[in-house]
Chain A
Amino acid sequence: MRSVRPAPISAFLFLFLALVGTAGCRRDDPAAARVPLVRVWCHQGQEAENQAMRAIAAAFNAAHAGRARVELTFFPDFQYNEKIAIAAAARDLPDALDLDGPLVARYVDAGLLAPLDAWFTPAELADFLPTIRTQGTIDGRLYALGAFDSAVVLYYDRELLAAAGVEPPPAGRGWTWNEFLAACEKLHASGVEPVAFHMNESADEWFTYAFSPVIWSNGGQLISSDGTSVRGVLASVENIAALQAWQAVFKNNYAATDPVDPDPFGSGRTAMDWSGHWMAPSHVRTKGAALGAMPLPRVGARSVAPCGSWCWGVSAQARHPELAALWLKWVTDPQHGIAPIVRANGAVPARRSALALFPEYQNLPYRLFREQLETSAQPRPRTPFYATLTQRFAGALRDIARGDEVAGRLQAAEREVQAVIDRRRPAAAPAAVSSSP
């Protein structure tokens, strides 16, 4: 009578498992195992950022030895939002996690984040940039704080502009949209591609993030100020006019709708670059003194800049919320948290006291980043329906860039978003969030 699984198979498998297991199992120091563990999730950025985060975590563990131990896990950016959703649905969220700013409202609405007010003194909070505080404040309570903020500007190559006879605006001021189009025309005539809009970005968020200022500058909004209705708001007259002005850039071939090059400005193909702080180090390196930066052109009267970035929150289910809060304080500390990460990713430090650690902020383009964040930046709307709003708005922008009729396309997006809101509204309590500056 032969048994089903002959001995050799079992032996082979067992041996293989044993070998792999000894290689793969983590050997935790028994003493360390007794220290409370703080599970932290972080989205995976560039390698320099990840290394900086690992160093920050290691420094935290050294400084808080015996009191708390942070275990840092990275997830690829494109999977990250799904992972949070899955973990939230599985009720297995980490103790602390970083979130993209506009999504904070959704997780607060679902009761997943714990308020942070108790852990920070008013003086500490005042040290943060106003945009950071607004980004993390829902219903008057603070739920998330970022270590850095972001900025989008219009970079330009002084030499290429001069060669085409284009005069950049005075320092700190941006063009009106007509001035911008006129400059593009001159550049186009001189034979160079006027501007890069990065329309090949795979993430929807780029479009909403980078181009919402166009409609904001014309006095429009994406969603009502209580975050519950887009009817008449998203496809308003102002927004249609603003996006028609935006569409003119593509209609006249000033910007590519399907670029292949990820950095056309750096490689010399375009004269201007509608891009963010993350390109600053590379542009400074490639263009040197020829690099200029101006605020984004405005359709209406207001000059508006985008802002917002990843920020840290504590899970409402955290077993040791006070320890998770310790991590938050560490990672937003100017010296221990902000300085290393900003040196790695070139973002804008979230605290005024941290700005003193960065001498480059005396000069362009960094000086412009800071000015915008202090004066003209507008956070994206804080609404539980942000994910849908951005997906549909980005889709509309993509289609409008390819030539779709603006009013119709925008109205279609408005209907789609409103339909989603209407479906969900009965269950969700209306969150009184504000999208005004």
Chain B
Amino acid sequence: MTSWKKAQSRAAPWFLLPALALLAMFVVWPMLRAFGWSFTNADLLAPEQARWSGLDNYSDLLADPRFRRAFGNTALFALLVVPIQTVLAFLLALWVNRPEPAWRWLRAAFFLPVIVSMPVLAVLWTILYQPAHGGETGLVNAALSLVGLPAQAWLRDPHLALPAIAAMSIWQGVGLQMMVFLAGLQGVSRELLDAARIDGATAGQRVRHIVVPALRNTIVFVITVTTILAFRIFVQPYLMTRGGPGNSTLTVVQSIYEITFLSQNLGRACAATLLFLLLVGGLTLLQRRFTREERT
């Protein structure tokens, strides 16, 4: 029996070579280069002339008000999106978790924005958020006026722009989280739920004491992934507001992009990238810490 296994093992390098070579070339090597460049004053247009500059890029970034603003905005965005989207998705999952076949369409409906690509949605919502001008207005303001609320300038208002983008992101992503929660809900013990109902527990109590603990790992996973995705945001602010008005929607990724191609400071861009990576890695580690009993 082991002879054919040995034959198999000999074939292993062929199975691995394409993937590993590609990963090495396009993931590992670029990361190493970025790491190296981050300690130099590399210029975008002439990186080979880079000179060692130690931790200058890092200290400059941490002191740069624009970068800090970008970080603050992105953190605020995550703070808005993650709790609201997670709670909404959880409630939605509970609500649509019915076996009747017709409910499949409902689940698909909530999932639809996930499939529509983000640039399309960014363009669409910019149009929806159009402020009132003359007799014309965007759909959001029109809907508000239906219930008697005043029209807003949304994306032109420095205080409303980031929440507006957050709302749109929540709308887009809630379906995906809902699906993940739905999958998790299938694993909740039915006997436990039935026993609780027989004992007179209300729906709210059943959710709080049975469902939530059972879904603990899923919840942690969803929160972590959503947080990381929130920090990686780029295309919505880039297309909808270009980081404005007044830098209120400037994000970390756009900041890195601008440092690279507008300031053309490759060294500093790499430093920003690595700081960003530290953040993402840190969040992932936190998730592992909070996830108990990993089931393979």
Contacts and interface: CB of A to CB of B under 8 A. Distances in A.
A–B contact with Cβ pairs below 8 Å: the answer is yes
B50 to A, nearest CB: 7
Given A85-B261, A387-B264, A419-B60, A202 B244 contact: yes
Contact of B46 (A388, A395, A427): A427
B160 interface: no
Contacts of A110: 43, 45-46
A426 B51 contact: yes
A1 interface: no
Interface residues of A, number: 26
Contacts, number: 58
A81 B257 CA distance: 12
A21 B41 CA distance: 45
Interface in A280-339: none
Contact of A428 (B43, B156, B244, B262): B43
A424 interface: yes
A423 B264 contact: no
Interface string B117-135: 0000000000000000000
Given A85-B264, A260-B153, A426 B242 contact: no
Contacts of B60: 419, 423
A59 B66 CA distance: 46
B35 to A, nearest CB: 19
B31 to A, nearest CB: 18
Interface in B225-268: 242, 244-246, 257, 260-265
A114 to B, nearest CB: 16
B242 A85 contact: no
Contact of B263 (A89, A200, A387): A387
Interface string A172-195: 000000000000000000000000
24 contacts: A82-B257, A85-B262, A88-B44, A89-B44, A89-B261, A110-B46, A202-B245, A260-B156, A387-B263, A388-B263, A391-B263, A395-B66, A416-B64, A419-B60, A420-B263, A423-B53, A423-B265, A424-B41, A424-B43, A424-B265, A427-B41, A427-B43, A427-B49, A427-B50
Interface of A: 78, 81-82, 85-86, 88-89, 106, 110, 112, 200, 202, 260, 387-388, 391, 395, 398, 416, 419-420, 423-424, 426-428
The 3 closest A-B CB pairs, nearest first, are A110-B45, A85-B261, A82-B261
Interface of B: 41, 43-46, 49-51, 53, 56, 60, 64, 66, 153, 156, 242, 244-246, 257, 260-265
